[in-house]
Amino acid sequence: MGEGVDFREYLDAQMDLREPDPHTYSPLVLAYLGDAAYELIIRTILVEQCNCPVNKLNRRASALAKASAQSDMIEKLLPLLTQEETQVYKRGRNAKSATKAKNADVLDYRRATGFEALMGYLYLKKDMVRMIDLIRAALADMPKDGDPHNRRSREAGAKTRSKDEIRRTDD
């Protein structure tokens, strides 16, 4: 895969995958995929931010991937979500899971499942810009020791999008 090639388009073409319709997947399948997509984004940010020992990277990633952190993130994001995104989140939050919350209360676990369902939905829609904008907005007020959106993106001159730019209206 050369530079400038879209990951999802290349994956779909090389593996002969059909164009997915995110609306046809159960919320738990969306959460399953969203968990992986979110984790990859978080790990990428952390590695690019700090070339440090793996155990330190893992602690930081785990802190951002645990149910309570994702629950806090989705609470910050709710005012920014479109009506469709809110419906996807609620479907994920209300889904009946066969697994129980480990090291998390039930409410945080359910909200985190909704958050992951939203990430999976955006991934299947191939709307990585929206996914990254929402993750960035959710991480904006994180403490410095766990904040993967810090000096590196600012030094690189990355375009910073305001909450108004992140907020979308349904078309």
> Which of these is catalytic: 35, 72, 108, 133?
35
Total domains in the chain come to 1
Residue 140 lies in a domain: yes
Q: What is the pLDDT of residue 96?
A: 86
**Tokens describing residue 108:** 């945080």
Residue 114 lies in a domain: yes
For residues 41, 75, 119, 23, the Cα torsion angle rounded to the nearest 10 degrees is -170
pLDDT of 51 above 70: yes
Residue 56 lies in a domain: yes
Domain range for 126? 27-164
Residue 121 lies in a domain: yes
Q: What is the pLDDT of residue 143?
A: 62
C-alpha distances out from residue 130 to 4, 63, 119, 124, 144, Å: 19, 23, 9, 12, 24
Q: Residue 72 catalytic?
A: no
For residues 83, 84, 85, 89, the Cα torsion angle rounded to the nearest 10 degrees is 100
Q: What is the pTM of this model?
A: 0.81
Which CATH number do you get for residue 41? 1.10.1520.10
Q: What is the pLDDT of residue 151?
A: 40
CB contact set of 50 (below 8 Å; sequence gap of 6+):
56, 57
pLDDT band at 137 (very low <50, low <70, confident <90, very high): very high
